[in-house]
Structure 1
Amino acid sequence: MPRLTVTKIAPALGADISGIDLHAPLDEATLAALKDAWATHLVLRFRGQALDDPQLLALSRLLGPLDPPGPNPYGKPFLEAFPEINVISNVKVGGAPIGNLGDGEAVWHCDMTYVESPPRAALLHALEIPPSGGDTFWSNMYLAYETLPDATKQRIAGLRAIHDATYNSAGIMRKGMKEVTDPRQAPGAHHPLVIRHPDTGRAALYLGRRRNSYVLGLDLADSNALLDELWAHATQPEFTFRQVWQLHDLILWDNRCTLHRRDSFDPEARRVMHRTQIKGTPVAPAFEAA
Structure 2
Amino acid sequence: MCQAATIELVPTGAALGAELRGLDLRRVDDTSFAAIHQAWLDHGVLLFREQSLSPDELIGFSRRFGALDHAPVQEHGRSIHAGRPELYVVSNVLDEKGRPIGSLGNGEAVWHTDMSYLPRPPKASMLYALEIPPAGGDTHFASMYAAYQRLPPALRDRARGLRVKHDGTYNSGGFLRAGVTPTDDPRLAPGHLHPLVCRHPETGREMLYLGRRRMAYIDGLALAESEALLDALWAHATSPAICWAHRWRVGDLVLWDNRCTMHRRDPFDATTRRIMHRTQVQGEAPPAF
Q: Is the contact made by 1:16 and 1:46 (CA closer than 8 Å) also made in structure 2?
A: yes
Report deviation, 1:285: 2.7
SS at match of 2:167: coil
Specify the alignment match of 1:215 in structure 2.
Answer: 218
CA distance in 2, matches of 1:68, 1:6: 31
Q: Which amino acid aligns with 1:138?
A: F
> Could you tell me whether the CA contact under 8 Å between 1:127 and 1:274 is conserved in 2?
yes
1:244 is aligned to: 247
Contact 1:103 1:265 in 2 (8 A): yes
RMSD: 1.0
Q: Which residue of the partner structure matches residue 267 of structure 1?
A: 270
Quick check: 1:148 aligned with 2:137? no
Q: Which residue matches 1:30?
A: 32
1:88–1:101 CA contact under 8 A, matched in 2? yes
The 5-angstrom pairing of residues 64-103 of structure 1 reads 64-93=66-95, 94-103=97-106
Q: Percent identity?
A: 51
Deviation at 1:78, TM superposition (A): 4.1
Worse overlay, 147-156 or 65-74: 65-74
Q: Which runs of 5+ in 1 are unaligned?
A: none
Task: Please tell me the residue identity of whatever aligns with 1:213.
Answer: A
**SS of residue paired to 1:174:** coil
Q: Which residues of 2 match residues 1-290 of structure 1 at below 5 A? A: 1=1, 2=3, 3-24=6-27, 26-93=28-95, 94-286=97-289
Could you say what secondary structure the match of 2:187 adopts? helix
Listed one character per residue, the Cα deviations across residues 130-189 of structure 1 (whole Å, up to 9, x for unaligned) are 000000000000010011111111111110011110100111001101111111111111
Amino acid at match of 2:235: A
Gaps of 5+ in 2: none
Amino acid at match of 1:12: A
Structure 1 residue 27, shift from structure 2 partner: 1.7
Aligned partner of residue 279 in structure 2, secondary structure: strand
Deviation, 1:283, is 2.5
TM-score, normalised relative to structure 2? 0.96
Distance in 1 separating the partners of 2:66 and 2:280? 9
Distance 2:131 2:74 in 1: 21
TM-score (norm 1): 0.96
Looking at structure 2, the residues matched to 123 and 55 of structure 1 have their Cα atoms a distance apart, in angstroms, of 13
Rounded Cα–Cα distance in structure 2 between residues aligned with 1:220 and 1:247: 44
Report if the CA contact (8 A) 1:78-1:99 is conserved. no
CA distance in 2, matches of 1:284, 1:69: 21
SS in 1 for 2:170: coil
Q: What's the CA shift string for 1:13-40, capped at 9, x where partnerless?
A: 111111121122x222111111111111
Measure, in 2, the Cα distance between the counterparts of 1:188 and 1:36. Answer: 32
Contact in 2 for aligned 1:42/1:258 (Cα 8 Å): yes
Q: Distance in 2 between matches of 1:229 and 1:78?
A: 39
Aligned residues: 285
Q: What is the CA–CA distance in structure 1 between the aligned matches of 2:80 and 2:73, rounded to whole Å?
A: 11
Whole-Å Cα distance in 2 between the matches of residues 73 and 105 of structure 1? 15
Q: Deviation at 1:260?
A: 0.1
